[in-house]
Structures are given as C-alpha cells and as structure tokens.
Structure 1
C-alpha cells in the first residue's frame, strides 16, 4: 500500500461549498479504496468540518443521527474529495474479534497445507493511509468493542498478541464511527440490537457530531438529483409534497403518533417507485406505509391528504374480494 502522506492542498470553500478559509491536505492520486464522488451529495457544514478535523488533525470522530441521514455517506464523500482511501466495516452481530484482529488459517504453500496467521481488517488498515469507518458502532459486541478501545488512545498502538507484535499506526491512518444512538441503547424502540456503550470508551472519541435531517429545500434538491426524471416543474412539485409528508412523519414520531420516521433514503425510494408504478399513492404504501403498524395508517392517510390534496386509497382486503 502507498505510504505517501497527503500533500495536496484542498480548499474547503471550493471543494465543499462551505464558507470557511480552511485548507486541508489530501492525496493527489486516487486508489482503488477511494470512494466514488457523488456530485449530488449535500454537505452539512458542521458535520463536514468535524469530519475534516478528523482527516486534518487525526481526531477520532463519531457521527450520530437517525437512520437515513447519510452518516456513513458523509464520511465517504469527504474522503472521496480528499482522495483518501476509506474502508467501511459494519459492526453487526456476526463480526467477531478474530475478524478484526486476525486468526490462524490453513493455506496452501508450495503444494503443502500450512497454518499461518492471516491479519484482520484492523492491522491491515493500520499499516497504510486508510480511513477506517466503523458503521453501526452502537451495535458492536462487547468483545469487539474492547478491541476498538485501544485504537482510540492517543498513540493508537495496537498489539497483536498472536504474533507478539505492536503495530504503530501509519501517519495517515484515521478512525471514524457512525451510530444511531449516543450510547444509551434502544430507548425509543427504533433501533433493536443497539447496546449501551461503555462510557469510558465513549469518552475517548475526540468529537461527537450530530447529523439531523436536512432542510426541506435541500432534501428536495437531493431527491431531484437522484431521480432526474422528476427534474421539471411537475416533478419538483411532486417531490416537494413527498418531502412535506416526510416532515410530518418526523413531527409525528416526535409527538408519539408514529413508531417510525421516513428517512431521506425512503423519500428517494418513494420517488423512484412513483415512476415505476405511475401512482405516488401506491408507491407511498409500498415504500413506507406498509412498514408501519396498521393502527398508524389513518395518521399516514391524513398526512398524505394534507400534502397531496387527495385521499390515500386503502387496498381492498382479500376477504372482501372473495
């Protein structure tokens, strides 16, 4: 892996559209691990500056927020514009300590089976200029979390007990994480499988940034960029109504009227499905309403009627058609 340090000077104002005089270092050349640039991505100024601080000053950055707000994508898109290699690891329940650290494996050498140590993703990332992003950080298993805790120390040295080896991080190694909660577990019932985080470990993150849903105009612009078929006056009006419905679901969730919220990702899916089915009402049911409790459907129908000025026809039960 390339061991060069980032030396390309990149203007934050010109590259990210943020009113800031900051200039950060990035890489001149792209490699296979640099994410693709999404030209339609909209950057949240505060979160972008926090992520840039992680890249520029080697700070440990945790980005927290509800699902669908683009936490992981935000880090990836910053890395893409800095030409910084970036690798995401999802801390699901199947990821073990051995997956992170490494394990002995039987391999074929010169026609013979031999046992040798195969490094996990953490030692591999530590050796090069890599931004390691730990997705679903608050869903990690306890044994996995204590492996990560050592990476959060100031020097970040990592000990491979299996090889009696201490690894020093590459100067351009960076560590990020994303989480739906702030380490308090599944308080609102939205995120089953999340854990209460060790507060001593949570305290080791240098910066905790919160990424909320975008203002309506920006969300409309993102949906139109992702679904260019709606980039006319009629399409914009349709997307504006969809974003308005999404805003009502978020307000309803905060008020306790709904058990879930419509994320920007779901709005984009709804817009795409409207083109497939030719009916925004049917697409709304298939994209979001059917994910909600049946008792909440009247509330969703009211939201739809208020934004589209038409009734949300409910599907006829099978028993009624028999």
Structure 2
C-alpha cells in the first residue's frame, strides 16, 4: 500500500514527464513541418601564400611556400580574432606550421622570458589559418583531471559533465595551448604522456574512451625550459624528463633591437588606425616625434632587461612596451604612461631605479 503523499509525488513526477515529452514532440513536429535541419559548421581547405597570410614578417618566405587555411561555413567560436599589424617571426612560424603538418607524435614547448611572444604566435597563427585554439593557464593547483573538465550535480540529482578545453580539443581537433606549464606539478603532467601517441584517451569523468582527433596538437609555454631554474619565476617546477621527451623545445628570445623597433612601428600604426588619431589635431602636432620616441622606448626596455640580469628586476616586456606607447598616444605623458604600463608594479626603490633608466635614455623626460 502506498500512502497519500507517495501517490501525490508520483503523480507530480509523471505529470512533469508527460509535459516535457509533449513539448519535445511538439518541437519535433514543428521542425518536420518547417523542413528544419540543424546546421553543422563545415570547413573547406585552401592553400594561401605564406607571405600574403602573414603580412608583417621579419623575413619573407620563399614565394612558392603556401599555408593550409581552414574556411568555416559559420564563424568558429574557438578560432581567435586576427590582430591587425601583428609582427610575425619567420623562425617561429616555421616551427608552429611544422607541428600542424606533421603526424601527431610530439608537442611543441615554447620557452622564454615573459612577453617574448610565446603565446601570441600560436594565437595569431590559428587566427589566420582558421585552426581552433583552446588555451588555458596552468597553476600549482591545476590537476590532470581539471584539464578534461568537471562534473556538477543538477537539480534532478544527476551528474552533468562540463567539457574542458583539453577534452574539446581532443574530440574536435585544434591546438591545445597550456600556458605556464612549469607552474603545474610534474606528477600531474606526466599523466599527459599518452596524449602524444594514443589513438584513444580514457576520460574518467564520463567513464568513456574518446577518439583523439587527427588534427589535435599540444603546445606548452613556460618561462623556464622545464629545469625550474629561475629566480625570476617563483613556483616554476622541474618537469619530468619523460614528459619533456615528448616535445620539440624552442627557445623564444626577445627580438633584436631592429625587430623590436619594427614591432613598435606596427603597434603605432595599429593604434592610429583603430582610434582614428590621424583626424585628431592635437595628435598631429606630435606625430613626427612618435616613431623616434618609440625607438627610444625600445632602448629603455632593453636597458631594463640588461639590469634585470644582474638583479631580480621585472623586465619591460613586449606587452609592456605596447601598453606604454598606447597610453602615450592616447594622451598620457611619457613618464605617466611608463608608470601606468610598467613601473607602478614595483616597490619605490626599484621604481626610482627604472625611472632613472628612462630619463637617461629619454633626456627630455623629467622625473617627478
């Protein structure tokens, strides 16, 4: 015998189920009547000249070199946006393109100091070639299973799996970019070894084997080369030798002075176009001195990096240079924009030291 409360609960569940099923049937009938079919995002492959695809290059490709580009029927949410006037380095492009073209066996490990362009080269390669990019940053608390996704309880009492970026890249194809990989535990990372050779990966959260897509590739970046030896990057770990043996390891240094100056020229051009500065009368008055000043900014950044080699000093990266010139072009003084973009993160003695470097290389600036 069932009590009254049990019968009422059963009736409520049954009624809710019937309503839900009826709604599904109504949607299906409507779709059938309208002739609706779900739209899949299809891709076509084209070959495009490397020199036209990567317009701003430090060194041109041979005219016969073409790059495979994916054209999607609908915008793909995982394909990054193109950053106009991005400055490409040919040597890095060659390595990234080789990884994509070669059968999946090894990953690519880009190592170098912060702001050298390790992540951005991957991002902009994917943006121009239509290759999906799934990017995230590792930390000391990131575990192996976190990379695949997470499970959450639902109101109905069941468990729902929320796919992570690694899971999506494995299943659908594309580059999985794990930044700051040397901040993760070596014991967790070594579990990823099978990604480079296995055709199927077991995902514990869903208790299933998942086929590895033929276009899946793994890229990692780190401020150290897996040795963990750096006083400037606290928390960097020594990575397992067997794990590092799965990678082509590429050192990404800062650009040469000449290339950094060209980089700054491209940044200035991008900002001028994006913010319509050519029509601004107050900007026109200082336009002639912008590029010479940009070259002086590069000298300041390089002097700070030289000082950083002798003492524990945060460097002025390419990103810092970009922030500095942006703040200057949009109305701040040279000194104020320098502080906002970089120096205000430092303690007072260190800030005074870098401002002195600034005033040495740009004598027109008066320290406050």
Band the TM-score falls in, shorter-chain normalisation: 0.7 to 0.9
Normalized against structure 1, the TM-score is what? 0.84
Deviates more, 1:20-29 or 1:83-92: 20-29
Match of 1:35 in 2: 80
Match of 2:109 in 1: 62
CA displacement at 1:95 relative to structure 2:
3.0
Task: List aligned pairs for 1:146-165, cutoff 5 A.
Answer: 146-151=190-195, 153-155=196-198, 157-165=200-208
CA displacement at 1:60 relative to structure 2:
1.5
Gaps of 5+ in 1: 315-322
Normalized against structure 2, the TM-score is what? 0.75
Deviations 1:115-163 (A, max 9, x none): 3544433222211122111111111234541342221x33353222455
- 93, 100, 114: which one pairs with 2:147? 100
- 162, 172, 175: which one pairs with 2:215? 172
Match of 1:318 in 2: none
- 145, 169, 177: which one pairs with 1:133? 177
- 113, 118, 135: which one pairs with 1:88? 135
- 229, 233, 250: which one pairs with 1:191? 233
Please tell me whether the aligned partners of residues 2 and 128 of structure 1 are also in contact (alpha carbons under 8 angstroms).
Answer: no
Matched, 1:75 2:129: no
CA displacement at 1:93 relative to structure 2:
3.3
Matched, 1:303 2:350: no
Structure 1 residue runs of 4+, over 4 Å off?
A: 1-6
2:311, 2:186 → 1: CA distance? 34
Structure with greater contact order relative to length (CA < 8 Å, sep ≥ 6): 1
Aligned residues: 307
Task: List aligned pairs for 1:208-227, cutoff 5 A.
Answer: 208-214=249-255, 215-227=259-271
Deviates more, 1:1-10 or 1:153-162: 1-10
Deviations 1:9-47 (A, max 9, x none): 232233125313333323122412111111211111111
- 335, 340, 346: which one pairs with 1:286? 340
Please tell me whether the aligned partners of residues 258 and 296 of structure 1 are also in contact (alpha carbons under 8 angstroms).
Answer: no
Summarize the Cα distance change of 1:117–1:282 in structure 2 as closer, same or farther, 3 Å threshold. closer
Summarize the Cα distance change of 1:113–1:246 in structure 2 as closer, same or farther, 3 Å threshold. same
Task: List aligned pairs for 1:37-56, cutoff 5 A.
Answer: 37-56=82-101
Taking only aligned residues, the RMSD between alpha carbons, in angstroms, comes to 2.7
Name the larger-Rg structure. 2
- 320, 330, 338: which one pairs with 1:266? 320
CA displacement at 1:5 relative to structure 2:
7.3
Please tell me whether the aligned partners of residues 43 and 71 of structure 2 are also in contact (alpha carbons under 8 angstroms).
Answer: no
